[in-house]
Amino acid sequence: NAGVMQNPRHLVRRRGQEARLRCSPVKGHSHVYWYRQLPEEGLKFMVYLQKENIIDESGMPKERFSAEFPKEGPSILRIQQVVRGDSAAYFCASSPPRQGVFYEQYFGPGTRLTVT
């Protein structure tokens, strides 16, 4: 069973460029979550998607950031006009539909974005 896959693992962008981060969930999982880990802030929720729907984007910055999870293909986190403060590790997680009180999410290895 393949786990959550993310690519690229490392991404370097100059200020003002666009960054596209991809996430393929565990086979059969229809729920995808994106988190960002900054050195001084810890691991923070960004967005929760199901196929073709954004369920909760309360953790997404209001500008420059967008996410999608199309019917076919991976989930994409897109950051337009990157700035140095966007440098962080971005993690994707997936889960099957919620059962009871458990929120078992399976994390990918992350994409480390460096903005120069």
Partner 1 sequence: TQLLEQSPQFLSIQEGENLTVYCNSSSVFSSLQWYRQEPGEGPVLLVTVVTGGEVKKLKRLTFQFGDARKDSSLHITAAQPGDTGLYLCAFGGATNKLIFGTGTLLAVQP
Residue placing its CB nearer to partner 1 in the complex, 38 or 83: 38
Is residue 65 a contact point for partner 1 (CB under 8 A)?
no
CB 79 within 8 A of CB 18: yes
Min CB(100)–partner 1 separation in Å: 9
Min CB(45)–partner 1 separation in Å: 4
Residue placing its CB nearer to partner 1 in the complex, 19 or 94: 94
Amino acid identity at 65: F
Is residue 39 a contact point for partner 1 (CB under 8 A)?
no
d(CA 40, CA 4): 26
Interacting residue with partner 1 among 24, 75, 94, 95 (CB under 8 A):
95
CB 34 within 8 A of CB 91: yes
Residue placing its CB nearer to partner 1 in the complex, 77 or 93: 93
The half-sphere exposure of 56 on its side-chain side, counting CA atoms within 13 A, is 10
N-terminal to C-terminal alpha carbon distance within the chain? 37
Is residue 101 a contact point for partner 1 (CB under 8 A)?
yes
